[in-house]
Structure formats: structure tokens, C-alpha cells
Amino acid sequence: MPYIRQTGRRHECRRCTQECVRYNVWLLSLLTFCEWLANTPGSIALHESLYAYPVIESIHVLTLCLFLGLAVMLDLRLVGIAMRQTPVSEVADRLLPWTVAGFVVMVISGALLFYGIPVRTYQNIFFRIKVVLLMLSGLNAFLFHSTIYRKVAEWNLLPVPPRRARIAGGLSLLFWASIVVAGRMIAYNWFDKPI
Amino acid sequence: MLFHLFQWIENSGLGEAIRESKWLFPVIESVHLLGLAVIGGAILVVDLRLMGFGLRRQSVRQIASDVQPWLIGSLIVMLISGGLLFTSEAIKCYYHWAFWMKMTALFLAILFTFTIRRSVTVADADRIGTVRSRLVAVVSLALWSGVGIGGRWIGFS
């Protein structure tokens, strides 16, 4: 007997195990949450707005320059191919407040974009890829700061930082580039589920 | 005259290929966005420094020369990817005010960056007053923001 779940459309589940049911319940509750979100007045207003949505979208895209532009500068320094004469800690510390400010704007504007179109975005494959990549990127940054960056005094002035720092910078560049591409692709509906 | 040129571009094989492909336009758009992040960083890091923020212990001259290859590299990527996007919808651009705003701002921004802004960033720090370098940074940021906002708005039509 195939277990039929309802996450937007009817779907036959091939693995009818206990885990599978639990997994579906979890997905189902996320979807229910998104459906509830879509029916809140704020979401409807945003969805139907003529200018608010495109303006928020523009803010989200253009803040890329502030947030990612400066984060990329740090990553390039870590990889050892830009600003090689500037101490690493200086690039990290002096640019950090600006990067953080940019990140806050990105998160708020991104959350609002999600809030305006929750169900469709939640079901979009590129959105899901983006969320996973964001977590990986966060993990990479956390590992970098909690390990090799603690000893930055030892390699602060090196034009080309040690391997682990270069790897962290390279991974960060890779993750963020993929996040940008995935983010851009959310707007396209190639893989959307038929309504 | 100009309209015929735009029409010819839109009907060219390149424009048609990008328009008819499902993937090409989004992929080129993504490259354009990645270029945006880099060019944004390369401009901001210098403009912030000119305003007295960011990497204050380094000289403007050094930061500017450090990021110069990234600025030029990303500008080339932007111009090529942007040009390709343009070929696929030249006629729409012809009728869109945002396109003309972007092109005007882009022309002025490039001109300003490689003349006045460059003369300030290569000069010795003690010869350039803070008021002047701040003014240059503000004008630079305003012009490049105009390019970005105009560019984003071409997509809304």
C-alpha cells in the first residue's frame, strides 16, 4: 500500500517506513506553516503590492555589493590573490562592520521576499539549494574563525596565508557564488510544481 | 537610426539565440550578478577609504592600486555579460527609461572613475584634502548606484 502524502500534490512514496512517515509529517508541517504565512495580511499586501516587492528585490540585489563585495575582498585576501600587503586581521576587522551591516539588510530583505511568496518559494528547488548552501557557508565561516583565524597573529602579514586559511577563503567564494546563482534562479519557474 | 541599430541587434543571431534558449539568459544574468558583487567590493573598498572608513591604516593609493585589476576585470565581465543580455532584448531597452538612465550613469561613472577619481587615488595623501576625497567618494557612489538601480529596473517592465 503506497503511503500518499500531501505536500502540495499527490505523491506516491516508495519507502513506507516509520521514518518516511515522520519525514513527511515534518515536511507537511513546514508547508502548512508556509500556507498559514501566505494568508497573513502582511504577506498578501506584499504579494499584491505594485512597488514594494520590486523595491525590496532591488535592495536585496544591490546590497550584494556591500555585503558580498566586501566579503569577497576578505576571501580574496585569504586566498592570497588580493591586497597582499594589507594585514589579514585588518581586512577582516575593518571591513567586518560593513559586511555585517550588509548581511543584516540581506537577511531582512530576503526574509521579506520569502514572506511575500512563501509557498511557491518553499517548494522551489533553487530556494532549498540556497538554504543548504547558506548553512554550509555559515559552517565554513564558523570553522575558520574558531580554528585557523585564532592564530592569525602568526600569519597576519604573509602575502599568501597558510593552506587552511586559503581553503576557507576558497570555499567561501565557491559557496557564495553558488548562493548568488541559486538565488537568481529562484525567480525562474522551470521546476515549479503545476498548480 | 538608433532604433534601427537596436532592431538589427535584437534580430541578430546572437540576440535570437539568447532569447530562445531557456538557460542562456539566466546563466548570463548570474554571471552579471557575480560580476556585480566583485565590482561593488572593488569600488566600495576604495570609496569607503576615501571617506575615512574601512581600511584606514592603508593609504588610498595602495588600496586603489591593489583592487585596480579586480575593478577592471569585473568591469569587463559586466560589460560583456550586460552586452549579451542587451542583445536579447534591445528593443525593450530602447523603450525603457531605466535603460537610458543606466547607460547615462554608466558612461559618467566610468568617465569619473578613470579620470577625477583616479587622479585623487594616485595622488599623495597629503596633497588631497579630506573634503575633496570625500566628495569624490560620494559622487562615485552616487553614479555607480545609479547604474545598479537603473540596471535592476530594466528587469521590471
Does residue A195 surpass a pLDDT of 80? no
Residue A122 buriedness (CB in 10 A; 0-12 / 13-18 / 19+): buried
A27: distance to nearest CA of chain B, Å?
A: 29
> What cell was used for A177?
557564488
Domain spans, chain B: 2-154
Binned at pLDDT 50, 70 and 90, residue A17 comes out as: very low
Does residue A30 surpass a pLDDT of 70? yes
How much of chain A, in percent, has pLDDT values that exceed 70?
84
**Mutation target vs B (from A57, A66, A68, A73; most B CBs, 10 A cutoff):** A73
Of A66, A94, A185, Cβ closest to residue B40: A66
Whole-angstrom distance, CA of residue A122 vs CA of residue A29:
12
Q: What are the tens digits of pLDDT across the range B49-62?
A: 999 899 988 899 99
Q: What are the tens digits of pLDDT across the range A91-103?
A: 999 999 999 999 9
> What cell was used for A154?
602568526
Using an 8 Å CB-CB cutoff, list chain B residues near A66.
40, 44
B1: distance to nearest CA of chain A, Å?
A: 33
Q: Does the complex come out with an ipTM higher than 0.90? A: yes
Q: What are the tens digits of pLDDT across the range A62-77?
A: 999 999 999 999 999 9
Q: What are the tens digits of pLDDT across the range A169-188?
A: 999 999 999 999 999 999 88
Q: How many CB atoms lie within 10 A of CB B120?
A: 21
> What cell was used for A160?
599568501
Q: Are A162 and A78 in contact (CB under 8 A)?
A: no
Whole-angstrom distance, CA of residue A42 vs CA of residue A48:
10
Domain spans, chain A: 3-38, 50-186
Whole-angstrom distance, CA of residue A137 vs CA of residue A179:
9
**Mutation target vs A (from B39, B55, B157; most A CBs, 10 A cutoff):** B55
